Structure formats: structure tokens, C-alpha cells
Amino acid sequence: MPVFAPPIADHLFTLYELLDFESHAQLPGFEHCTRDVIAAVLEQSARFSSEVLYPLHRTADEEGVHFDNGTVTTPKGFRQAYAQLVEGGWPALTASPEHGGQGMPHMVNFLFEEMLNGANLSFGLFPGLTRGAYVALAQHGSAEQKALYAPKLASGEWAGSMCLTEAHCGTDLGLLKTQAMPKGDGSYALTGTKIFISAGEHDLTENIIYLVLARLPDAPKGTKGISLFVVPKFLVDAAGALGARNAVSCGSVEHKMGIHGCPTCVMNFDGATGWLMGEANQGLKAMFAMMNTERIAVGIHGLAIAEASYQNAVAYARERLQGRAPSGARDAAKPADPIIVHPDVRRMLMTQRALTEGCRMLALWTAQALDVSERHGDAEVRAKADAMVQLMTPVVKAFLTDCGVEVANLGVQVLGGHGFIRANGQEQYLRDVRITPIYEGTNGVQAMDLLGRKVLHLDLFHHFAVPVQGFVERHEGDEALAEFVEPLAASFDLLEDSTRMIRERAGLHPEETGAAAVDYMRLFALTAVAYLFARAAEVSLPKSNDAFHRAKLATARFYMQRVLPDSAALHAKILAGAGPVMAMDEAMF
Amino acid sequence: MPVFAPPIADHLFTLYELLDFESHAQLPGFEHCTRDVIAAVLEQSARFSSEVLYPLHRTADEEGVHFDNGTVTTPKGFRQAYAQLVEGGWPALTASPEHGGQGMPHMVNFLFEEMLNGANLSFGLFPGLTRGAYVALAQHGSAEQKALYAPKLASGEWAGSMCLTEAHCGTDLGLLKTQAMPKGDGSYALTGTKIFISAGEHDLTENIIYLVLARLPDAPKGTKGISLFVVPKFLVDAAGALGARNAVSCGSVEHKMGIHGCPTCVMNFDGATGWLMGEANQGLKAMFAMMNTERIAVGIHGLAIAEASYQNAVAYARERLQGRAPSGARDAAKPADPIIVHPDVRRMLMTQRALTEGCRMLALWTAQALDVSERHGDAEVRAKADAMVQLMTPVVKAFLTDCGVEVANLGVQVLGGHGFIRANGQEQYLRDVRITPIYEGTNGVQAMDLLGRKVLHLDLFHHFAVPVQGFVERHEGDEALAEFVEPLAASFDLLEDSTRMIRERAGLHPEETGAAAVDYMRLFALTAVAYLFARAAEVSLPKSNDAFHRAKLATARFYMQRVLPDSAALHAKILAGAGPVMAMDEAMF
């Protein structure tokens, strides 16, 4: 009964009708991204995801990964599916043509990743981490390092893995202890233990390239003394041939709530040979340079599961017969009506749908700015787009992953008791997606990045405010759009007022920012999605004679009337400030 | 590291200071409930729960139940713990003295059940179901049936199990098909298959008494043709000795998200011998007569997990060192401060705490009415209390279980990556509690019961309105309490306005009630908890020189300022009505 069919019609709507991808494809390097090519990429992504990856999704959850004396075996079918992934050229979608990549826009790649992870999040993590390692290497690696590793990572023949967290430090990387001692030949010996390393060890590729944060002997304390190293599982000679096994090994794998098909490893570096990547003590900066892409990608994990959960809830709600429609039997010949007739089931499905479509618009709008920030010919346009990406990235990461959990939770509820049964797949979505508000920086950290750094410190709020205010002003007095523009304007006013209020308080009371951050992030995201739904409505109103655009308008209306009212509550909570949050004696908890 | 220590201080506060249990114990039959006795019961409950049941909680999750050819074996330690439970007399806490019970108030029993289920929800389900079967039997069984089964169920020597759901009907019991054919000797032969039967088969007791819904041959269609039968696993002779195995067997157990230690069974009745309980075709009524207690008990499951999750989150937040307090290092000698210093972590912990304490007050306030409805000497007082119970029961069931999920979800987030690891226990709380908004009637069904039946049809709203309005009026102009009374009054106005609005619309548009129900239920619950926090504040203000009451005030303030603002959003969503919920063509989902 569980189903997975990527919503390509909505992908194309979001790309072309909402975000004018025809113009976007005029950016340098995107000349090959014609409508036919993009449609073909999406269709093939959909086929690969639904036909190859989705069938492994339940079995991988039940089987999990196998750990035996340092060796990790992935669930049945993963090796073959990974080989098909590499053969299809999918890992190289956004990689540079100079490394054998296809140079596709982030906008398209994120839609591919939505499908991949919606079909099988455990599987999707492997190529996702490899793409991240490729990006870091392409940005910060030396010419020699790029020559050795970049094409293999771009193609997916070798996998990448990020080694940041240690037992005593996750969020607070300044505490990390892994040591890198110079060996005198330009290489370093790395010693330390990393935990929570996704895909740290596995059998999908013949080599794994670790990007490791560690300290040089003379490094300053804290975050200013962290350097980035590239450490291959098997050493590679100048010709690219695999040599000796490096002194890095998997000590154990975690037993966890979800993503059972992807190993979460304890990785031991016992004098492993590595090479400095980028400058000494600039490791965090190098790591964070790729973080925007990575954080949007993790947001996409949330969106992906939301879409998958929504589809399954709809399929169940159409089939399951219980009770009668409130206005009388819909199908009197049957013993009962399908539960989709019940208003409360509709409310849940519409909430799932509105959040999912909203998340997709938010991610692609941000990805558009990311492409522009990398590709545009005009440096000023690039810088402006980059500021936009800086501002929106934590919102995408946090809001999409929060919505992933909310939507998956609703999906379980739509199925009732059947939602709690493993075979029906809905509870797995909730278990799998639950890590996404945590990894790649918890959503609390994202909220502090948005409010403390991007809004208060870097003063980037106007990059969001200007387009929204422009849209609202342009449509003042537009009666047809008023039902969308007015709630947007009201929510934006609350956001602006919150921004002003927190700015006033933050200097006086250092706790105000942290106490407001998560509510502020949510208010920001709800407003941004309202803006995008209002734009979607603008595009759809003239086309409301077809069912797709009528559905888009219905979803936008639902969002404005039944989701967006939360803005007022968030504003009130922000207004209450840090006082009630911090008042209680710590001993009394 | 995981901890479980029942919060007896808050139990005693809620009983004695908030709800005047001293007076409550004046009810007929509660003469033995002195303060010393109650304190001893709570302390022994706490010890049994934390020392006997809590240590089995993680191992039972990992081990699960074993199914082998119709036999179900519970996880290691459950049999011994169950024997201790029976030996301690715990199952008989509320049972009538005529059946060997202790005749304790529901108020006390629900606190016992909070501890039991907080320590080990899987285990707690067994005695919970037995208590439910006992209550149904005590209310509807014939003298002979009571004599045969009631004392054994009261003591827990035999277990009870409720058999309602069938594959094609969960919520819509009118569709059920299990047949009961008269055998001519006063007994019936039951044939059919029941699913989702919690504790349907196990090794904890020598006999299991099934209460089964089935149809007599000449029964009317739908819900008016359902009768209730008592079906023992082993037939019992007049002297109470076990005889032949009845034709009821477990066909399989479900693999599910959580509560792994309690079997969820497919039960096959193959001409099993049973006896009609109560009147023919009145089975649903008989079943629902015990539903109020059962639904409050399921609400308690939510509260129980909320408390357990909160405690673990606090313990972690005190220990885990990451980052520095926003106002500067709290403990400069250590490499970092405990994360409890961070405002966003505080926000999560305070939210957990406020919801948990609020749920406890709501449950006990309702349980107080339940006791009065059963015990008071004056029939009019009993009837009024019963109306109150009717009104509040769906609120308790739905709000407490929703909060259980929310609080457990926050608990995972406080622990970050460690929250996703099974050994740390937080993710199990989320998996275990996720069934509670579903079983014993989904929360959507509870919301319809509240709004459609209790508020609109039975017109019971004033039973809530009168005490709240009385409280608000009594404290008008009371400056010390204004910070609690004003938000309560504002939320109550929104609730009253919503009630009026829905009442106006419901007659015209049959979908309005269903579209509003869940938001209405939440608004109702938030307002009820605000009322109880305001009363708690009234009690605590004069005692604010001690830490417990200061903490209560701080929690009440947090609730008013950082939780209750959701009322405004809920009101706005209700105001939006059914239109946006139902507008989209069904084919477009």
C-alpha cells in the first residue's frame, strides 16, 4: 500500500512558473539547462528514486547496518543501488565539468535530492555527504588535492565523510581535542576519536575521504585553533592508485531511532596520515564555507520526508472506509465513506500539503539565490544574492526539518492505529526525519544564527524585507490578491515589529536573543512562506481554469487562513521576552 | 544516566493545596484516605515504579515480546515484576472492597498510574487494561459473572483485555462483524477476528478475561446491534477453578513503533464460548460507560511520559557542557557551561515543565469530579459532577496525549544527537507515547466528542464556564493575581466566542464542527490549564518564600506568557471555518 511518486508537476511549477527558471538558466554555465533537459533530469530522478531506492526503504529500516570488527556492511540492495547511482552520473549533478560533473544548478539538484531522500533517506545520506566533501575540496583543496580526490568524489566512485563532532563537543566545536602532529614530510598524523560520523565506514565505495577537524600542536585554544585535514581511508599515490590502509577505523556504530540504513560511526584516528586543507587554524571557516549548501540540503531532507508522508496519508485516506461524510453518505453503496471526507482528516492532509509545498518554495527560492551568488556575472549581484543566502539558509534548515517532523507526525495520525505499525511505513518517516532538526547544527543553533548573527549582527534583514514590502506595495488595492496579500502584510508587520523589539532589548539583556530565537525563526519562516504562497497565487489566479492551479490557490488559501495565524502567537511570545524563560531557580528544575 | 524519580512534591501540592484533598476525603468511602495513608501510597508507588519497573523499561524495548505459535512471552523481568505488583495489591487500588479492593479515590489511582506508566508504559498497559475490564464487569456484569471474575480481576491474578477493533473498523465500530451465536445453554459461540488487541495474549497471568464486542444473529445493523460478551481464555467452573482452554487464540503480534514490551495482538475467536454482559444490543453503551475512566487513564499515559522525558532532559541539561552563558561564563574553571544556562534550552525545559504540570492539574481536577460523581451523597451533586466529567474527559485524553508527544519531542531536542541514540532513552519516550493520541479513540474523535456532542448537543459548556467566570470575577482588581487572571480571562473570551461562532455555523454547514474540532479542543484545554495555573498561583503567592512555590509561580508565569498566546492563533483558525479545509477537489490531493 505505501506509495512514492515524486510530485514533478509541483517541481516544474515551482521552478518555471513561480521562480522563472527560464531566466535563471541564462546564468553563465547553465546554457545546457533547457526545459527539455530539466524535465528529463526530473523524470529520470523520479524513476530512479521510486524504482530503485524506494523499494529498499522499508527493508533497510528492518535490516539496518551490520558492524563486525571494524567492518560496516550496508543493508541488502544498497551496493547495487549505489552502483546504479554512480553509473547514472547522479552524484556529479552539480559538480564542476572540470571534475567530470554536469554543472547543474542547485535548484535542480535540490529537487533531485528531495526525490532521493524522500525515497530513502538512509541511502540519500551517502551521496549527500560525498557532495559536501567534494564542495569543500573544490573550494579549499590545493591543486594537488583536487587532482587526487575531486573527480572521484564528483563521480561518487569514492565517498566523502565529515568528521567534526567529538564526545564532549557537538555544538561547541571550540572544545575539540583531536590532534594533528606534523610528520615532517608535509603530512600530519591525526589522533583522536570522532563520534556521530554519518557514513564513516561502509562497503559502498572502495575508498572514503574524511574531512577532519583537528588541532595543530601550537594552535590557539577554542575555535580559532581548528584546522581542516583530508584523510583518505586508503592512501592514494600520485597516479591515483590505492595504497596502504590508513590508521583510521570504525570503533562502533550507534543504535538509533531511525535512518537505520546509514551507519552513525565512532571513528578512531590512531596517527592517521592526513594533509592540511586550506590554511592552518582556518578549518572552521573552510568547513562553514560549504555549510550553506549543506544546511539547505538537510532542510531538503525534511521536505523530502514531508512529501513522502503526505503521499502515504492521502493514499490511506482515500482507501480507508470509516464513518460517513457530515453532509450525508458520499457513497451509500459502500459500508462507509473514505475518511478523506471527514473535515478533520482534510485539515490534517491540507496542513501536510501546505507545509510541504511551502517548504519546497522556500528551499528553491533560496537555492535560486545560491546559484546567483555563485554564477552571476556581476559581482554586486553575486554579493547581494550571497547575503540573501546567508540570511535564508538557517531558516530553510530549521523550518523545513521542523515541518518534516510535524508533517510526518500528522501522517501517523491520519493512519490511526495503522500509523503505529512498522509495515505501513508512516512511523518510519517520523523516526527517520527526527534527526534532521538536530544534525548539521540543531535548529536552536540555526535560530541563533538567523537572529543573533544574520539579523542583529550582520543586519541582513532588509534583504528579505525589500522584496516582501515591494510585493505588498505593488499589490495594494488588488482585490483579487487581497486575501493573500493582507495576511502576508500582517505577518510581515509582526515580524518587523519583533525584529525591532529584539534589537532594542538585545544590547541590554544578553539573554533576550536566545530566548526569542526559535519563535523568531518560526515567525520569519511562516512569513517567508506566506510571501511565496502569495506569489504562487498571483501566478495561479489567471490559470484557475485548470485543476493544478485551482489546487495551488486552495492550498495557498488554507495556508493563509489555517497556518499563518500562528504568527500572532509567536509575536506575543517574543514580546514576553526572556524574563519568564529564565526566572526559575536552576536548582528547582 | 537516564533517571526516573516520581515528582511526589508536585503530586501532593496538586492534591492538597490546589484541589483540597482533605475535603475530598470526606466523601463516603474515603474515610481511610488520611494524609498519612495517601503519602504512604504515593511513596510506595514511587518506590515500586522506580525500583522495579523503571529498570525494565529499556531492556523491554530492546527485547520486545516473543510470539511463537500462538504463545506470547513478555520481556525478561515482566513476570516477576507483575507478581510483585499483584502481591503489593496495586491492581486493587480503586476496586471495591467487596471484591477485595482498597476503594481508593481515582485521584490517587491516577497518580499511581502516572508513576507506573512513566516508569514503564509497556508494563503499565497490562494492569491498566485489567482495571478497565474490572470496571466494566463491576458495572454491567451479572451477579454470577461478578462472583466468577471480579475478585480475580481486582487483584490482578487474572488479566483483562478489551476486544473492539476489527481490520475494517476502528473508529467506526458500527461496521463490526464478529458473530455471537446462542448455544442454547445461555452461552454464545463467538466467531470473528479482532485486531490491535493490547495484551491480548501473554504469560503474566494464568487466565485472561476478554470483553468482546460482537453481534447477535438478529441484531440491527450498525452501532445499535452490538453486544458485549465476556470470554475467558480458560473456562471457569462455578467454584472458580480453571477448566478447558477456550477457542480464542492469538494469530500474530504487530511490529510497531513503540511499547515493544506490550503485545498488540490479532485475536481469533473460533466459536469461543462467551456470555452476554449487560443487555443485548447495548454493548457500546456498556463499553462507553467505562470509557471516561479509561480515557482519563490514557491521558495519564501522555502525562506520565511527559514527566519522564522532562526529568531526563533536565538531567542532561545540567550535565552536558557546551558553550557559555550569554552573560558570561557561569563556571570559568570548566571548559564550558552546562547547557541549562542557554535561554533556548531553558525555553524547551520550561515548556516541558509547564505542559507537564498543567496536564497533571487538568487530569486531577477531572478525576476529582469523577470521584464526586461516583461517591457524593447528594444525587444532584453527583449529576453535576458527572456532567463535568463528560465534558472534560475528551479534553484530558486528547490534550494530555498531544502534550506527551510534544514534551517527548522537546526532550529529544534538548539532548541533541544523543537524543536520537536508543541507549539514552529519550527517543523511546517519543516512540512509546506516539500511540497515545491514537488508541482509546483518536484525538480527532475526542475533539468531535467534545465539540459536537458535549458542547453543541448536550450543552455542557457552562459546567466549565461557571467556575472559570466565577474565579475571574472574584479576582477582578486583585493586582497580585492580575498577571494570571488577565491572560486567563482573555483566553476564556476567545473560547467563548469560538463556542458561539461554531454554534451559529454548525446548523447551517455540517462540516463546520469537524473542521473546528481539534483547534477548539486545544483552545479549550489551554484555557482550562490557564484556569488551573491561576488557581495554583493564588495558592502559591502567599507561600512564595519557599522554593517549591516560587517555582510554581515561575512556571505559571511562563505558561501564561509563552504557552497561552497560542489561544489567539487557534481562535483565528476556528474563525476561518471549514471553507479553506474543504475547498480543494478531492482528486487533486
Where do we find the cell 534550552?
Answer: B345
Asked if A569's CB is within 8 angstroms of B568's CB, the reply is yes
- Residues from chain A that touch B170, judged by Cβ atoms under 8 A, are 322, 416-417
* Grid coordinates given for A321: 472506509
Phi, psi for residue A318 in degrees, rounded to 5:
-80, -30
> Across-strand partners of A214?
A227
Phi, psi for residue B219 in degrees, rounded to 5:
-70, 145
- Residues from chain B that touch A323, judged by Cβ atoms under 8 A, are 171-172
Residue A441 Cα, gap to closest chain B Cα (Å): 9
* Residue from A172, A221, A548 to probe the interface with B (highest B Cβ count within 10 Å): A172
* Residue from B61, B122, B176, B413 to probe the interface with A (highest A Cβ count within 10 Å): B413
Does the structure show a pLDDT above 80 at B515? yes
* Residue from A334, A582, A585 to probe the interface with B (highest B Cβ count within 10 Å): A582
- Residues from chain B that touch A444, judged by Cβ atoms under 8 A, are 342, 344-345, 348, 413
Asked if A419's CB is within 8 angstroms of B344's CB, the reply is no
Residue A236 Cα, gap to closest chain B Cα (Å): 33
Contact A4, A311 (CB under 8 A): yes
- Residues from chain B that touch A588, judged by Cβ atoms under 8 A, are 547-548, 550-551, 554
Residue A104 Cα, gap to closest chain B Cα (Å): 31
pLDDT digits (tens, 9 = 90+) for A155-186: 999 999 999 999 999 999 999 999 999 999 99
DSSP tag of A421: B
Tell me which of B1-10, B61-70, B129-138, B501-510 is least confident.
B1-10
- Residues from chain A that touch B510, judged by Cβ atoms under 8 A, are 326-327
Distance CA B589, CA A314 (A): 7
Query: CA angle B338-B343-B348, nearest 5°?
Result: 90
Closest CA to A571 of A464, A506, A515, A494: A494
pLDDT digits (tens, 9 = 90+) for A190-234: 999 999 999 999 999 999 999 999 999 999 999 999 999 999 999
3-state secondary structure of B244: strand
* Grid coordinates given for A71: 567492518
Asked if A256's CB is within 8 angstroms of B421's CB, the reply is yes
Residue A382 Cα, gap to closest chain B Cα (Å): 34
Does the structure show a pLDDT above 80 at B2? no
Distance CA A573, CA A583 (A): 15
Closest CA to B252 of B178, B196, B171: B196
Residue B262 Cα, gap to closest chain A Cα (Å): 14
Asked if A442's CB is within 8 angstroms of B557's CB, the reply is no
Radius of gyration, CA atoms only, chain A: 24
- Residues from chain A that touch B439, judged by Cβ atoms under 8 A, are 417
Asked if B434's CB is within 8 angstroms of A431's CB, the reply is no
Does the structure show a pLDDT above 90 at B411? yes
Asked if B412's CB is within 8 angstroms of A585's CB, the reply is no
Is residue B360 very low, low, confident or very high in pLDDT (cuts 50, 70, 90)? very high
pLDDT digits (tens, 9 = 90+) for A516-564: 999 999 999 999 999 999 999 999 999 999 999 999 999 999 999 999 9
- Among chain B residues, the shortest Cα distance to A558 is held by B580
| B249, containing H or E segment | strand B248-253
- Residues from chain B that touch A301, judged by Cβ atoms under 8 A, are none
pLDDT digits (tens, 9 = 90+) for A72-98: 999 999 999 999 999 999 999 999 999
* Grid coordinates given for B319: 550535565
Distance CA B299, CA B405 (A): 11
- Among chain A residues, the shortest Cα distance to B446 is held by A344
Of B443, B558, B581, the CB nearest to A350: B581
Residue B1: the pLDDT is 59
Q: Return the active site residues of B.
A: 440
Of B344, B435, B548, the CB nearest to A420: B435
Is residue A292 very low, low, confident or very high in pLDDT (cuts 50, 70, 90)? confident
Distance CA B1, CA A567 (A): 38
* Grid coordinates given for A329: 453518505
Pairing of strands A248-253, A234-236: unpaired
Of A561, A569, A581, the CB nearest to B565: A569
Asked if A172's CB is within 8 angstroms of B514's CB, the reply is no
Of B409, B421, B555, the CB nearest to A254: B421
Residue A265 Cα, gap to closest chain B Cα (Å): 12
Q: Between A and B, how many residue pairs show a Cβ–Cβ distance under 8 A?
A: 286
- Among chain B residues, the shortest Cα distance to A265 is held by B421
- Residues from chain A that touch B257, judged by Cβ atoms under 8 A, are 412, 420-422, 427, 430-431
Asked if B413's CB is within 8 angstroms of A343's CB, the reply is no
3-state secondary structure of A101: coil
* Mean of the per-residue pLDDT values of chain B: 97
Distance CA B581, CA B567 (A): 20
Asked if B431's CB is within 8 angstroms of A439's CB, the reply is no
Residue A1: the pLDDT is 59
Tell whether the torsion through CA atoms of A70, A76, A78 and A79 is positive or negative: positive
The whole-number average pLDDT for the span B557-579 is 98
The whole-number average pLDDT for the span B141-168 is 97
Of B340, B344, B419, the CB nearest to A589: B340
The whole-number average pLDDT for the span A486-493 is 98
Q: Return the active site residues of A.
A: 440
Strands (E), A247-398: 248-253, 264-277
Asked if B345's CB is within 8 angstroms of A172's CB, the reply is no
Residue A179 Cα, gap to closest chain B Cα (Å): 17
* Residue from B259, B349, B582 to probe the interface with A (highest A Cβ count within 10 Å): B582
- Residues from chain A that touch B565, judged by Cβ atoms under 8 A, are 568-570, 572-573, 576
Distance CA B294, CA B289 (A): 10
- Residues from chain A that touch B557, judged by Cβ atoms under 8 A, are 580, 583
3-state secondary structure of B322: coil
Residue B159 Cα, gap to closest chain A Cα (Å): 23
pLDDT digits (tens, 9 = 90+) for A390-442: 999 999 999 999 999 999 999 999 999 999 999 999 999 999 999 999 999 99
- Compute how many other C-beta atoms are within 10 angstroms of the C-beta atom of residue B343: 25
- Residues from chain A that touch B412, judged by Cβ atoms under 8 A, are 257, 434, 438
Phi, psi for residue A4 in degrees, rounded to 5:
-150, 110
Asked if B420's CB is within 8 angstroms of A435's CB, the reply is yes
Asked if B581's CB is within 8 angstroms of A422's CB, the reply is no
ipTM: 0.97
pLDDT digits (tens, 9 = 90+) for B300-355: 999 999 999 999 999 999 999 999 999 999 999 999 999 999 999 999 999 999 99
- Among chain A residues, the shortest Cα distance to B550 is held by A584
Residue A27: the pLDDT is 98
Distance CA A403, CA A302 (A): 7
- Among chain B residues, the shortest Cα distance to A338 is held by B586
Of B347, B515, B562, the CB nearest to A347: B515
- Among chain B residues, the shortest Cα distance to A348 is held by B581
- Residues from chain A that touch B351, judged by Cβ atoms under 8 A, are none
Label residue B506 exposed, middle or buried (CB < 10 Å: 0-12, 13-18, 19+). Answer: buried
